[in-house]
């Protein structure tokens, strides 16, 4: 009987798996974003790209037809690509770029569950609009964490139903200039372009301008300390001569709207429709931002964060979440307030700029609110009330917890710093030349890339990567590892002065977690 049960269970799991074909026709065309026309990459004629919705175990064929006048690739962010590294979408590493008027088939297995996304991985084309959401429904064998929120069967079923019908929210910053225009201006000026023009929710938003008096009143004490005698620009961003390091600059080569020149425009607004008969709705918050951390909240509603980067966690109740580039937070929102329209707020969570957008959390019922909703956060990402609870990434407990090995085969200490220019960065003593994206992939030619750009490891071993930020005047650095995930086992301020984690733990054991660490990381500024 036991063998029969196992056989039936196996059959049940595989019965949900399917072969899924998805076609992405990429075109380069004029499109209005945030109320401003510019050329962007459209996927099947739309921006953002359409959702790829899967079941865990599905076999995925993702066909890309490149109708753009330049090379492209597509990366599936967070997908481990076990056994299919050639489908990871990194030019120069796992594939050659897809040339104009050419096609390429990606093939991979949806072994994981949860929220992911696909996006451009050639040059800066992410900022030209090539991205879309992926959701992989978990198999029945995956244990959900909702019983940690409630033991009520009705509530539990409502949470399960909400997850099954989860909706993607792609959160992003946006620039009026194309990625190529920005890159050319950075090379000509020597300046790191750290400002955006708008924030978007599912590609919807507007360009909002403040008066200089409003900007000055919103400037935070930390910003004032860094600005000295200067002020934020008219796009509420740090001027180009602040925080760029001791390098040669040519400010005259900067283009309008990069740091100065705010012209308001009116775009569409994201509306989240809420059925009041549903107890909860689930949202997958994905940061597709190229520059800024983004802080998200819904007026007068709290959120249960139940998964991060496609893995369940012990649920945490919060009012606001700051999300780094590429990260995904799955949240349950109780639909238990007076029917009406509540403002969805998203603001810059990065110190170099004040920027915001709004959406609407709309109950599909007669409006009984008859007043503006009350915010949890301010325009600068601070708490609007004493009761505002912000999500703390450092307190995340995975569900179930997975402990990393303490048997480490190698330790690499990598230092983040600028490299010979304000706009170039390094994790060591050199920087990846963009021309290498056009070369024969490293996957097929082990000598295709200079050795000082490669960290070589042995299969079936554990490796510690220690990331050191060499100076305080840096933006935050989200670190994303392709293929299998990594654990964040420790963090701290100052210089890491030990040769290994094992040695450091003898002196600062409280700075490490080898019991239930989370995956993914954001280095603090």
Is it true that the peptide bond before 400 is cis, omega within 30 degrees of 0?
yes
- Tell me what pLDDT residue 3 has: 42
> Tokens 């400037």 belong to which residue?
219
The residue with tokens 């196996």 is 10
Backbone CA torsion sign across 342, 200, 243, 254: negative
Residue 253: per-residue pLDDT: 98
pLDDT at position 479, please? 85
- CA-nearest of 330, 334, 379 to 355 is 379
The predicted pLDDT at position 476 comes to 79
* 469: three-class secondary structure by DSSP: strand
- CA–chain centroid gap for 431, Å, is 23
Fold of 14-142: Immunoglobulin-like (2.60.40)
What's the pLDDT at 522?
55
State the pLDDT at residue 521. 55
What pLDDT, on the 0 to 100 scale, is given for residue 523? 57
Query: If you classify domain 271-394 with CATH, what class do you get?
Result: mainly beta
Which H or E element spans position 226? helix 221-227
Residues of the chain with pLDDT under 50: 1-15
- Containing H/E element for 147? none
Let me know: does 120 contact 47? Beta carbons within 8 Å: no
Judge residue 113's burial from the number of C-beta atoms within 10 Å of its C-beta, 0-12 exposed, 13-18 middle, 19 or more buried. Answer: buried
Number of helical H runs and strand E runs in the chain: 6, 26
pLDDT at site 9: 38
Contact indicator for 76, 108 with CB cutoff of 8 Å? yes
Comma-separated ranges of CATH 2.60.40.420 domains in the chain: 14-142, 271-394
Structure tokens at 365: 């019922």
Bridge-based pairing state of the strands 52-55 and 131-137: parallel
Residue 83 Ramachandran class (φ > 0 left, ψ -120 to 50 alpha, else beta): left
In this prediction, residue 137 carries a pLDDT of: 98
Q: Give the sign of the dihedral formed by CA 397, CA 402, CA 407, CA 409.
A: negative
């Amino acid at each position: 009987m036991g063998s029969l049960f196992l056989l039936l269970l196996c059959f049940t799991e595989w019965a949900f798996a399917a072969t899924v074909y998805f076609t992405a026709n990429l075109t380069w065309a004029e499109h209005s974003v945030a109320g401003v026309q510019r050329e962007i990459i459209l996927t099947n004629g739309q921006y953002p790209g359409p959702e790829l919705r899967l079941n865990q175990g599905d076999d995925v064929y993702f066909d890309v037809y490149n109708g753009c006048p330049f090379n492209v690739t597509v990366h599936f962010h967070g997908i481990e690509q076990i056994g299919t590294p050639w489908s990871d979408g990194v030019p120069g590493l796992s594939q050659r770029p897809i040339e104009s008027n050419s096609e390429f088939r990606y093939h991979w297995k949806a072994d994981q569950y949860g929220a992911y996304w696909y996006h451009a991985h050639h040059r800066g084309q992410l900022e030209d609009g090539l991205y879309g959401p992926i959701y992989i429904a978990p198999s029945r064998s995956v244990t959900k964490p909702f019983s940690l929120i409630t033991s009520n069967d009705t509530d539990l079923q409502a949470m399960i139903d909400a997850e099954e019908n989860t909706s993607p929210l792609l959160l992003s910053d946006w620039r009026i200039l194309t990625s190529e225009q920005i890159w050319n201006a950075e090379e000509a000026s020597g300046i790191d372009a750290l400002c955006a023009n708008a924030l978007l929710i599912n590609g919807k938003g507007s360009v909002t301008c403040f008066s200089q008096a409003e900007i000055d009143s919103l400037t935070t004490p930390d910003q004032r300390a860094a600005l000295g005698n200067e002020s934020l620009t008219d796009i509420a961003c740090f001027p180009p001569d602040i925080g760029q390091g001791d390098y040669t600059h040519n400010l005259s080569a900067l283009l309008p709207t990069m740091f100065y020149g705010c012209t308001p425009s009116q775009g569409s607004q994201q509306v989240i429709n809420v059925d009041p008969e549903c107890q909860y709705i689930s949202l997958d918050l994905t940061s597709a931002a190229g520059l800024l951390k983004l802080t998200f909240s819904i007026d007068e509603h709290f959120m249960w964060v139940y998964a991060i980067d496609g893995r369940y966690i012990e649920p945490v109740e919060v009012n606001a979440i700051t999300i780094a580039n590429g990260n995904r937070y799955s949240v349950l929102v109780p639909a238990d307030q007076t029917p009406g329209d509540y403002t969805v707020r998203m603001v810059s969570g990065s110190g170099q700029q004040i920027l915001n957008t709004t959406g609407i959390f709309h109950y599909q019922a007669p409006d009984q609110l008859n007043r503006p909703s009350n915010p949890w956060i301010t325009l600068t990402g601070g708490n609007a009330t004493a009761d505002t609870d912000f999500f703390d990434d450092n307190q995340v407990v995975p569900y179930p917890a997975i402990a990393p090995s303490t048997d480490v085969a190698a330790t690499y200490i990598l230092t983040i710093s600028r490299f010979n220019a304000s706009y170039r960065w390094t994790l060591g003593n050199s920087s990846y030349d963009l021309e290498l994206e056009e070369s024969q992939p490293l996957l097929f030619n082990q000598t295709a890339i200079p050795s000082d750009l490669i960290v070589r490891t042995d299969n079936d071993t554990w490796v510690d990567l220690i990331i050191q930020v060499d100076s305080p005047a840096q933006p935050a650095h989200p670190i994303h590892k392709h293929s299998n995930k990594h654990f964040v086992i420790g963090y701290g301020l100052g210089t890491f002065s030990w040769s290994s984690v094992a040695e450091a733990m003898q002196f600062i054991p409280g700075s490490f977690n080898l019991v239930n660490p989370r995956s993914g990381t954001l280095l603090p500024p």
